[in-house]
Structure 1
Amino acid sequence: MENNEERYTPLDYALLGERHEVIQFMLEHGALSIAAIQDIAAFKIQAVYKGYKVRKAFRDRKNLLMKHEQLKKDAAAKKREEENKRKEAEQQKGLLSPDPRPQVLPCPPSPQNEPSRQSAAPSKQPPAGHTVQGPDADHSRRSPGRCPGRASHKDCSSDLQGTASRKPN
C-alpha cells in the first residue's frame, strides 16, 4: 500500500453507509476508525520521539558534565604540576645560590669537642709556629665575642643566657 492511498476500517465503512445499528455495535466492542488509529499512532510516535529526545538530551548533558569534570581534574593536575615545578625551582635556586653571609655561632669553642678533634686528625693540624689564618680567624677578629662554629648552637645559647640573666649586685 502506498502512503497516499485511502485506508478504511470496518467502522469507517459503517459510518460511510450510515448503518447506525452496526456503528453502535462496533463502538460498544472497541472498534476504531482510521482517524482514531492515526491519532493513536501519532501519539505513540510522538511519545517515542519525545522519549528519544529526552534520552538524547540526558545523554548530552551527562557527556557535558563528564567533560567538565575531566577539564576540572586536568586543570587541578596542571596547577599542582606548576606548583611543584615552582617549588622545585625555588629549591634549586636556594641550593645554587648559597647565603652570602657565613653562619657564625656566638660562643667560645667547647672543651669537649676540641680534644676529640685534635686526637682524631693530628696530622691535619699545622705546626704551632705556622698558624694559617682562615676566613673564620678573620671573622672572629672583626667581630669580638663571636667564635668560629666549633660548638653546637645549643651550647652557645646556654652560655649567653647564663651571662645575660645575671643581675649586678
Structure 2
Amino acid sequence: MREKLFEKTFSDILDPDSGSRIRLIQPGLGLATFDPCVPRPISARGFVDPFQLRLLEESIRSCDWSSLRALLFVCHYPAEVPLQHADHQKGHGLVGAEGILKVLQEVPVPICWLHGHIHHPWRFFSPSIPNLTYYNPGSPLLRRSQGISLGRWVLDWDGQRIQSEWRSLPAASAWFEASKE
C-alpha cells in the first residue's frame, strides 16, 4: 500500500489534481515538484505521467521568470545519472525522463534537481541542460566500502544564487562503524 509520502510532504505546494507546480518559497527562489512514483509490485522504476508533464510544461511556460533567480526541482528520480551509476538506471530509472528534460530546457535560471532514488551521494552537472545540477544525498546510513558517510548536501540561498556544499560527520561515522563490530 502506497503511503503517499510525497503528497503529504508537499501538500501545501501541490495542486490536488496535479503533482506539478511552481511556487515562490523565498524572494527569487522557486520550487517545482514532480511525482513520478507509481505503485509497481515488481519494478522500482518511476514513470512520467503525461498529465503531470503537461501541467509542468504549462507552469514553466506561464511562470514570470523575471522574479526568479533559481529553481529547486524536487523529484524522487533523477533524469540523468553520472556514468559510474549508469547501471542503476536499468531497474531504477525514470521512464519518460526525456520529456521532463525537454520541458526544463525552457527554464532560464539555474535548476537544482533534488532527488534520492539511487542511494549514492553525488552532485552531477547535466550533460544536456547547462543550467541543471542534480543533487543526491544518497542514503546516509547505507554501508559502503568507504564506510558510512552520515552526510548531506547543504544548499544555501543568499537571495541571488544557491551555494552547495557536501557536509558529513566523520567522527560520528567512525563511532557508528565501531559500534557495529
TM-score when normalising by structure 1: 0.22
What TM-score results when the alignment is normalised by the length of structure 2? 0.21
User: Max radius of gyration: which structure?
Assistant: 1
- Identify the structure with the greater strand proportion: 2
More helix by share: 1
